[in-house]
Chain A
Amino acid sequence: EDQVTQSPEALRLQEGESSSLNCSYTVSGLRGLFWYRQDPGKGPEFLFTLYSAGEEKEKERLKATLTKKESFLHITAPKPEDSATYLCAVQAGGNYQLIWGAGTKLIIKP
């Protein structure tokens, strides 16, 4: 069964303290892995798409990487405004549907 698991469920960091969020997946024929950011009371906002192992994407303090089993979202020197829930989703095979992880709630304390 296709599955996406995110860890940790929650992560509390001090401002400036770098860390990584994990998204592990077991799917048949990965088509793409997507990272979204969700603020409270808002819908998810698209961040990155990764297609193949070894691929990396960057945006401001965020960098997403992909292996054959998992993806990491690295956050460098985070600021309080980076606090949000980060969602990972996978598209597998010829299916248009996305399989979503439960998310990691990131809290950055000033």
Chain B
Amino acid sequence: GAGVSQSPSNKVTEKGKDVELRCDPISGHTALYWYRQSLGQGLEFLIYFQGNSAPDKSGLPSDRFSAERTGGSVSTLTIQRTQQEDSAVYLCASSAGQGMVSYNSPLHFGNGTRLTVT
């Protein structure tokens, strides 16, 4: 079956431009997470969706970051006025669980979007 799909796989953009990153979760998974991964650091939580609502946006680094999810499926992470410090791999994960990750509803990750801001 299809796993979590992210696009684009790589994105190079100039400082100050806006970018959109897309995530297609596993069909039927109600929970969706965005993480950021920088070299040598643990995954940084950005935002969590349960269905179309985002009960927790606390991880978004600044108001330049926003995310939405439509139809309980596809999610888009938008970064406005990109800065060099935004360069990282952005990972999306989905889960069948109702928020609480567990052995029978682990996170399934996509392969990420590598964002480079020049």
Contacts and interface: CB of A to CB of B under 8 A. Distances in A.
Interface of A: 4, 9, 31-32, 34, 41-46, 49, 51, 87, 89, 91, 96-103
Interface stretch (B64-72, B79-87, B103-111): B103-111
A101 B42 contact: yes
Given A41-B111, A44-B109, A49 B102 contact: yes
Given A43-B91, A43-B112, A97-B48, A32 B102 contact: yes
12 contacts: A34-B101, A42-B112, A43-B110, A49-B103, A51-B103, A89-B43, A91-B101, A96-B56, A97-B56, A100-B42, A102-B41, A102-B42
B41 to A, nearest CB: 6
Contacts of A100: 42-43
B41 A46 contact: no
Contact of A46 (B4, B107, B112): B107
Interface SS, A side: strand
A43 B99 contact: no
Most buried by A among B4, B31, B41, B43: B43
Given A4-B42, A100-B43, A101-B42, A45 B109 contact: yes
Contact of A102 (B40, B107, B110): B40
Contacts of B40: 9, 102
Contacts of B56: 96-97
B26 interface: no
A32 B42 contact: no
Interface in B15-57: 31, 40-43, 45, 48, 56
B93 interface: yes
Contacts of A44: 43, 91, 107, 109
